[in-house]
Chains A and B, each alone.
Chain A
Amino acid sequence: MTADSTPALVQPADGPDGDPASAGPSSAARGPRARNTKAYVQYAAAKIAGAVVSLFAVLVTSFFLFRLIPSDPVKQMTGGKRVSAEQLENLRHQFGLDQPMWKQFTSYIGDALTGDFGTSYQFHTPVIDKIADALPATLLLTGTAYVLYSALGIWLGTRTAWRNGSRSDRFNTAFALTLYSVPSFWLGLLLIIVFSVGIGPIPGMFPTGGLESGGETGFAYVIDVAHHLVLPVITLVAVGYAQTLLVMRSSLLDEMGSDYLTTARAKGLRDDVVRRKHAVPNAMLPTFTLMFVNLGHVVAGQILVETVFSWPGLGGLFYSALSVPDLPLVQGLFFVFATAVILANTLADILYPLLDPRVGR
């Protein structure tokens, strides 16, 4: 929701840091194609190596950041009940909290590398199982919303730019900007009041939250889940499509003055074809970058929207884990969120030169 502001996003993925042009005259003898391929492999390898370093840095951060939470997890776990000092000591030992910090750290890193993020304090189940349980719900919600708002943003962005300055352009841009300024959780609450609780003549027609009503099977279950999806997806799409629209609009406007479009028109092509076949593919590049950035956040979910709609996904899990604080679960989730963003960004970096031959050639 608090996405980066648009001017930064209009810029493509910073271009390759590695300079493929410097492959030298000796490789030029083998023809431009071979040189480019070699340079590209080097470039991709550097990006992947950078991603691995970032992942390790995230692992280290997630350990130390959450150790700073002042409250004592063992006290929180017992929930204020009368517990003997011996029992507290036992709990501490069970979760390895009585060991020195460096020992906790090394065993944490070692376990994490084998995919073991420890046992949740709250649920007494392995963190990795808890995350695996909640992941599908998040992917269903944010994935659906992602596809819808990307498509809507690209479609409206193209339309508004093509009719730049018209009444519909101004209306659509203003409308999108307004929705972009609305806090997602507030829109969610309002939709719940209007369409779930019902207000005035409008009856409550959608469930207030959750993923399913329970007890349904087969096709009825699918319908039930879809029914629960409507309001949270509308919330996410409404708040999210403006960004794609604005990036698509501004990059298409950049292309519209280009000579090759005049040429295409001079050939006698229909306006429609000029737009679809010539202008839009070129204007798509910055939008692709934005879509990859957003893809990383699909997994990170929408903490607020999931909390408001009691959606059983990763975002809601993260929030409930923070309030305990359930250190292993918080660490695991933080790592998963950051990993998703790193992977999506790396993928964007690697694909970008393939999509846009001008980059790095």
Chain B
Amino acid sequence: MTTQSLKVTSPRALARARKRQSAARFWKSYRSHKGGLWGLGLLFLIALVAILAPVLVGEDSQSVTDAPGGPLEGPSGEFPLGTDQFGRSVLALVVYGARVSLTVGLLAAFLCVAIGTVIGIVAGHFRGWYSTVLMRITDWFLVMPTLVLAIALATVMDRSMWTVIIAIGVTTWPTTARLVRAQTLAVESRPYIERARALGGGHGHIMTRHVLPNVMPLVLAQTTMIISSAILTEATLAFLGLSDPTITSWGGMLQDAREAGAVSAGDWWYLAPPGIAIAVVALSFTLCGRAVESVLNPKLGVRS
């Protein structure tokens, strides 16, 4: 690594080499966290399953009309996890559910972090009433019970996957905004920001070129944590019937199971798999998040 960075001459190539070095350093200390590696491995596997779903279980396994089995059959050789009330294979549905869960989790977390980062940086960079108003709005969102507000929003809007993504994203950003604002204040008190300003750097330049890169590590750790709670919220909203009923999702499967009387009939094979799937995905993201956090911890310590 070091010999390579000595060879390069242009400033851009130098910067790239430095980035590659710090990524290698990051990976080296991430590797020492066993939990983080487990989480990453599991996520890789689940993502692969989600992408290859049509190949693995067949494209027509979500169709209600020509389902292969009888209603609510127990586990068998043909259907390892039994069938649902329409005779569809539960295993196939769980595999397809991974798509919705990952998509909604990632997009909702991205929305949440994007709003939180923009508001946090702007509120930290500009002083005066600008910042006061933004922080008042943040505080107002912070005191709202998140799930209650998300349920209310999902009720108000149409039933669709995008509704769920928006409902989660719009209700969870305030914690990110607060963290980012605190970090922005810490970064902006350093001398090199003053130097940039003296050299004629405008607000946009300082916020995007100096504050944002310094806030990103914190945001990364926060994002992985938010994904896992977004996945849980998605399952919750789908379970309450607030998502698109035509899409196969794990929360929706649990709702179907409950409505088909699987609980009182004791059909554990129908109820257990979607919940285990939700827990495994949420746990994997949490493990990754904790590993990222402890890798970055020495730097995060500067924050306080």
Contact = CB atoms under 8 A, between A and B. Distances in A.
B85 interface: no
A341 B263 contact: no
Interface stretch (B72-80, B86-94, B194-202, B223-231): B223-231
Q: Name the residue among B144, B264, B272, B278 with the largest chain A CB count within 10 angstroms.
A: B144
B84 interface: no
Contacts of A325: 155
A6 B221 CA distance: 11
Q: Is the interface of A mostly helix, strand, loop or mixed?
A: helix
B293 A7 contact: yes
A182 B251 CA distance: 12
B264 A208 contact: yes
A69 B156 CA distance: 4
A57 interface: yes
B54 to A, nearest CB: 27
A206 interface: no
A338 B275 contact: no
Q: Name the residue among A183, A318, A345 with the largest chain B CB count within 10 angstroms.
A: A183
A162 interface: no
Interface stretch (A148-156, A193-201, A228-236, A281-289): A193-201
A5 B289 contact: yes
B207 to A, nearest CB: 22
Contact of A338 (B143, B178, B226): B143
Given A6-B225, A7-B221, A185 B179 contact: no
Contacts of A14: 178
Interface string A192-234: 1110011100000000100000000000000000000000000
B145 A300 contact: yes
Contact of B232 (A8, A54, A183): A183
Contacts of A5: 175, 222, 225-226, 228-229, 289
B240 A2 contact: no
B239 interface: yes
B145 A297 contact: yes
Given A7-B179, A178-B283, A2 B275 contact: no
Contact of B271 (A7, A181, A186): A186
B236 interface: yes
Contacts of B275: 182-183, 186-187, 189-190
Interface in B242-266: 251, 254, 257-258, 263-266
Nearest to B266: A197
Contacts of A182: 275, 278-279, 282
B151 interface: yes
Given A177-B287, A186-B271, A318-B148, A65 B279 contact: no
Nearest to B168: A2
B229 A66 contact: no
Contact of A7 (B140, B156, B222, B236): B222
Given A7-B179, A187-B275, A66 B156 contact: yes
B268 A57 contact: no
Contacts of B222: 5, 7-8
A229 to B, nearest CB: 19
A197 B264 contact: yes
Given A181-B282, A303-B148, A319-B240, A198 B289 contact: no
B51 interface: no
A251 B62 CA distance: 48
Contacts of B152: 65-66, 322, 330, 334
Given A54-B140, A193-B266, A186 B278 contact: yes
Contact of A185 (B146, B254, B272): B254
A301 to B, nearest CB: 9
Given A181-B282, A183-B235, A185-B236, A65 B268 contact: no
Contact of A189 (B140, B221, B258, B278): B258
Interface in B146-166: 146-148, 150-153, 155-156
Interface string A1-16: 1111111100100100
A92 B5 CA distance: 76
B66 interface: no
A186 to B, nearest CB: 3
B148 A345 contact: no
A304 interface: yes
A181 B283 contact: yes
A292 interface: no
A193 B283 contact: no
A180 interface: yes
A296 B144 CA distance: 10
B147 A58 contact: no
B139 interface: yes
A341 B143 contact: yes
Interface in B36-76: none
B27 to A, nearest CB: 21
Nearest to B230: A2
A186 B238 CA distance: 12
Which 10 pairs across A and B sit closest by C-beta, in order of nearness?
A5-B225, A186-B275, A181-B282, A181-B283, A8-B175, A68-B156, A2-B233, A300-B145, A182-B279, A197-B266
19 contacts: A1-B232, A8-B179, A11-B179, A65-B153, A181-B228, A181-B280, A182-B275, A182-B282, A186-B274, A189-B254, A189-B271, A189-B275, A193-B271, A197-B263, A297-B145, A322-B152, A325-B155, A337-B145, A338-B148
